[in-house]
Structure 1
Amino acid sequence: MTDAIPTVGLGLRWEDTPEGFRFRTIGRSITDADITSFVGVTGMLEVLFTNLEYLRSESLFAGRRLVPGALIYSLAEGLLMQTVVQGTGLAFLSMELKMEGPTFSGDTIHVDCEVLEARATQKPGRGIVKTLNKVINQKGEVVMTYTPIRLVKGRDYVAPGEARGAQI
């Protein structure tokens, strides 16, 4: 039996994101602990991320602790998961990504997202959504842009194994 109370925090179906639809995520500050955890779990033990003395003497950024681009992307995707993708994404198909500027420990980022394309696929209940995602820091500077293409559930999506038209 389905509960009458709706679940909040679920994503949007592809039909609910027409071309030109725009939104902004909440912000998230990036900490030294985030960087340390990320480089440790991924093995990205680059001195730019792990050696503060190297940053002071060799870095182009006067000793400021850089955030790996892969972490910025991961955090941006996390912000999107919390808003429009949760429970509606079926597959991540591809993307183009460009670093626009540095991000440092202590920066706060959010994502401005614009739908570039939203269309049905040949299979019922599925759509392709392409967006332009701009990761922006607290100064209003774009630090990363990327254009993911996702396979997303439609309003008439039926999970494999479920009968079409079944009543719940």
Structure 2
Amino acid sequence: MRQLEVGQTVTTPGRTIGEGDVNLFAGLVGDFTPIHIDETFAQTTPHGTRIAHGPHTMATAIGMATHTGLFGERVIGLVNISWDFSGAVKIGDTIHSRVTVEELRATSKPGRGLATYAFEVVNQRTETIQRGRMKVVVRTD
């Protein structure tokens, strides 16, 4: 396991969000809102096309961060997520995240700590579309 340090920042690999991803997420969570699954309807919206679910993009950003070595076997529980959605992800957009270790602190339980990660989710046009923080319980042994 890589040692964590406050201020440490990594950039995740990119991920292109496809139609299959959006449809799979809609089916998985049961959210069939027309902006996500009905192109004819979506063309009448300010986006002009279908967009990915906000939580889908958030989950993808967190998932991509697992490939960086910041999480791995050290994470043993989720405590809190605070997330802001400022842009949309259209089908075909490629996203990646910059993830920073924002805070590390010990807990009262031996071998455990709290880690807070700050996320900035960016599309292929370098537009920030989401920002968030995730606090997790981590093993410190």
Q: TM-score range by the shorter chain?
A: over 0.9
RMSD, matched Cα:
1.2
> CA–CA distance in 1 between the matches of 2:103 and 2:28?
35
Output the CA distance in 2 between the equivalents of 1:152 and 1:138. Answer: 32
- Tell me how far 1:135 sits from its aligned partner: 0.7
5 Å-filtered alignment, 1:33-52, equals 33-52=20-39
Cα distance between partner residues in 2 of 1:80 and 1:87:
13
Deviations 1:100-148 (A, max 9, x none): 2111111111110111111111222111111210111111111111101
Deviation track 1:51-74 (CA, whole Å, cap 9, x = no partner) reads 111112x21112x22011010011
Please give the TM-score of this superposition, normalised by the length of structure 2: 0.93
Corresponding residue number in structure 2 for 1:76: 61
Question: Which residue number corresponds to residue 149 of structure 1?
Answer: 135
| Matched ranges for 1:1-168 at <5 A | 12=2, 16-56=3-43, 58-62=44-48, 64-83=49-68, 84-154=70-140, 156=141
Identity %: 26
Tell me how far 1:97 sits from its aligned partner: 0.6
Give the number of aligned pairs: 140
Higher percent of residues as strand: 2
